[in-house]
Amino acid sequence: MDHFAVWIAAFLTMGIVSFLYKDNPWYKLSEAIFVGISAGYWFIALFWDSIYSKFWLGKEADPFLWVGVFLGVLMLLRLIPKIGWISRWPLAFIVGCTSGLYLINFLASNLMRQVQATIQPLFGPDFGASLYAAVGSIVIVVGTFSGLVYFFFSKEHKGAFGATAKLGIWFIMITFGASFGYTVMSRMSLLIGRIDFLLTDWLGLIR
Amino acid sequence: MRREVPLFITLIVGVVFVLQYFIPHYPFNRMNGWFSDWFSIVAAFAIWLGALNLLKISFMKIINRKSDWFYALVIILSFGLMVTVGFAGGEAYREPGTVFSWLYDHVYTPLSATMFAILAFFVASASYRAFRARNLEASLLLGAAFFVMLGRVPIGDWLTSFLPEGYRLPQLATWIMNFPQTAGQRAIMIGIALGLVSTSLRIILGIERSHLGSE
C-alpha cells in the first residue's frame, strides 16, 4: 500500500511538473484530479465541521440556526437562472457581516494598533534600549510617515511634500523587494520538498 | 424586492456588528452570536454552490461533447470519490487510516504542494523582468530581495563569514525585515485600513451597491 501511495503521489507530482515543458494530457489529467479532489475535500470538510457540528453533535441545536440554513438554501438558488436573483439576499447578509466586522477590526488592529506600535519612546526610562533599536525605531517612524504621505493623492507631490513621498516610495520598494524575496524562498522550499520526495521516497536515490 | 431587501439586510447586519463592539450586551451580543453562526453556515453553502456549479459546468461539457470533455469526467469522478468516502467515513472522516485521509495525504497534498512549487519557476521569470535595475526604485527592490534571499540561506552566512558577528548577511536580512520592511508594510496596512473602513461604511449605508450587480 505504501509503495502504491508513493507511486500515485509521484505520478501526480510529475504530471504537474510536466507543465513546465508545455500544456499536455498528463498535466490536464493531474489538474482535473486536483480540482475534483479539492472541491470534494472542502464540500465534506464544511459539512462535518460547519453544518454537522452545529446541528447534530449531541446537543440541542438553537432553532435560530435554521435561519442560516434558509439563507444558505437561498444561496443555492443561484443555480436556477429564473429565480437566481434571490441569492442576493444571503449575499447581502455576507457582505453586511464582512463590512461590519472589517470596519471595526481594521480600525482597531490595522489602524490604531499600528499607529500605537509606531509611536514608541526611543529609549526606556533608564535609557536601557540599544542604539540599534533606537535607530530602528527612527527608521520605522520615518518610513511609515513617508509611506503614508506617498498614499495621499489629494495634494500634488511637489516640493517638501513630494520629497517625502519620494522617500515613501523607496521604503515601499524595499518592502515589496523583501516580501518578494520571502515569497521566492517559500516557493523554493516547496520545490525542494517535492524534489526531495521524488529522489528519496520514490526513486530511493538519496538515503 | 431585488435591490431594496438586500440593501436593508446589509444595513441591519452591518450596524449590529458595529454596535456589538461598543455595546457588548443583550441584545447585540446575542444577535452577534446568531449572525456569526449564520455566516459560517452560509459560507459553507457558498462553497457548496461553487462545487455544484463546477459539477453543472462539467456535466454540460460532457453532454455537449466539448473539447477536453474527458477531463470534465475526471473532475466529476474525483469529486464523487472524495465526497463518497468523506460521507462514508462519518464524523471521524479525517482520522489517520481512513480512505479520506489516504486521499488527502497521497493525492491532495502532493498535487497542491507541486502546484505551488512550480510557481518558483514562474516567479524566477517574473524576477528577471522586475529586477532589472533601471532606476533607483527598481534597484531598491532588487537589493532588498537579493539581501533577504541570500541572507536566508547558508551560503549567505559563508560569504560574509570574514565580517564580525552582527554585520553578516543573515543579520542584514533580519534588519531589513525588522525595520525598513516593517515601516513600508505599516504604511500599506494603515492605508488599507483607511480604505476598508471607508468602503465598509459606504456598503453599510447603501452608497456602494456594485456587489448587487445590475437589475
Nearest to A72 among B44, B145, B201 (CB): B44
CA dist B113 and B13 (Å) reads 38
Please give the DSSP secondary-structure letter assigned to residue A120: -
Residue B186 has a pLDDT of: 94
Cβ A99–B204 below 8 Å, yes or no?
Answer: yes
Q: How confident is the model at residue B194 (pLDDT cuts 50, 70, 90)?
A: very high
Residue A53 has a pLDDT of: 82
Residue A169 lies in a domain: yes
Residue B39 touches partner A, C-beta closer than 8 Å = yes
Residue A19 touches partner B, C-beta closer than 8 Å = yes
Cβ B144–A170 below 8 Å, yes or no?
Answer: no
Does residue A4 register a pLDDT over 70? Answer: yes
Residue with cell 560574509: B160
Worst-scoring range by mean pLDDT, A52-56, A127-131, B97-101? Answer: A127-131
Contact residues on chain B for A13, CB-CB shorter than 8 A: 110-111, 114
Cβ B181–A174 below 8 Å, yes or no?
Answer: yes
Does residue A175 register a pLDDT over 60? Answer: yes
Q: Residue range B15-38: average pLDDT?
A: 90
Does residue A127 register a pLDDT over 80? Answer: no
Note the helical H segments in B131-209: 136-151, 154-159, 169-178, 180-204
Residue B198 touches partner A, C-beta closer than 8 Å = no
How many separate domains does chain A show? 1
- What is the percent of chain A with per-residue pLDDT over 70, rounded to a whole number? 94
| Alpha carbon of B204: minimum distance to chain A alpha carbons (Å) | 6
Cβ A51–B103 below 8 Å, yes or no?
Answer: no
pLDDT digits (tens, 9 = 90+) for B30-59: 898 899 889 999 999 999 999 999 999 999
Residue A123 has a pLDDT of: 74
Nearest to A143 among B47, B107, B187 (CB): B187
Residue A129 has a pLDDT of: 66
Cβ A17–B46 below 8 Å, yes or no?
Answer: no
Does residue B202 register a pLDDT over 90? Answer: yes
Residue A131 lies in a domain: yes
Torsion region of B68: left, alpha or beta (phi above 0 gives left; psi -120 to 50 gives alpha): left
pLDDT digits (tens, 9 = 90+) for B80-137: 999 999 999 888 888 998 999 999 999 999 999 999 889 888 888 887 777 776 788 8
Residue A138 lies in a domain: yes
Residue A55 touches partner B, C-beta closer than 8 Å = no
CA dist B3 and A190 (Å) reads 46
Q: Which residue of A has its CA nearest to B136?
A: A170
Q: How confident is the model at residue A126 (pLDDT cuts 50, 70, 90)?
A: low
Cβ A46–B44 below 8 Å, yes or no?
Answer: yes
Residue A78 lies in a domain: no
Range of the domain at A152: 121-207
Residue A6 lies in a domain: no
Domains of chain B, residue spans: 4-95, 134-204
Does residue A55 register a pLDDT over 90? Answer: no
Residue A174 lies in a domain: yes
Residue B62 has a pLDDT of: 96
Note the helical H segments in chain B: 4-22, 28-63, 69-88, 99-103, 109-117, 119-130, 136-151, 154-159, 169-178, 180-204
Contact residues on chain A for B109, CB-CB shorter than 8 A: 9
Residue A197 touches partner B, C-beta closer than 8 Å = yes
Does residue A58 register a pLDDT over 70? Answer: no
Q: Residue range B172-179: average pLDDT?
A: 91
pLDDT digits (tens, 9 = 90+) for A65-102: 889 999 999 999 988 888 888 999 999 999 999 999 99
Note whether ipTM > 0.90 here: no
pTM here is 0.82
Contact residues on chain A for B141, CB-CB shorter than 8 A: 173-174, 176-177, 180
Q: How confident is the model at residue A195 (pLDDT cuts 50, 70, 90)?
A: very high
